[in-house]
């Protein structure tokens, strides 16, 4: 198991506890666990910007703040 790494890609908007559950599963089996995030925005914001432009939102949902890269 020393050559296996579990990577959780944080999309910026997930249900509470998802990262913790991924870490718990990795700890159960033993491999290294890493979390990665985009350093400027979340995936949903990126898709909205690509589809609608950077100043618009969909269905009146406000954009979330940007996230920074982290590892746990």
pTM metric for this prediction: 0.55
- The predicted structure's pLDDT at residue 21: 94
- The predicted structure's pLDDT at residue 43: 75
Return d(Cα 55, Cα 23) in angstroms, integer. 35
H/E run at residue 6: strand 5-10
- The predicted structure's pLDDT at residue 48: 79
1-52 pLDDT per residue, tens: 678 999 998 887 778 899 999 999 999 999 999 998 877 667 777 777 888 7
pLDDT of residue 56 exceeding 70, the answer is no
Burial class (CB in 10 A: 0-12, 13-18, 19+), 19: middle
Burial class (CB in 10 A: 0-12, 13-18, 19+), 11: middle
């Amino acid at each position: 198991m020393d050559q296996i790494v579990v990577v959780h890609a944080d999309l910026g908007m997930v249900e509470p506890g998802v990262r913790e559950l991924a870490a718990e599963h990795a700890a159960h089996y033993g491999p290294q666990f890493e979390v990665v995030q985009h350093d400027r925005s979340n995936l949903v914001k990126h898709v909205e910007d690509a589809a609608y432009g950077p100043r618009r939102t969909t269905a009146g949902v406000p954009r979330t703040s940007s996230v920074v890269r982290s590892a746990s």
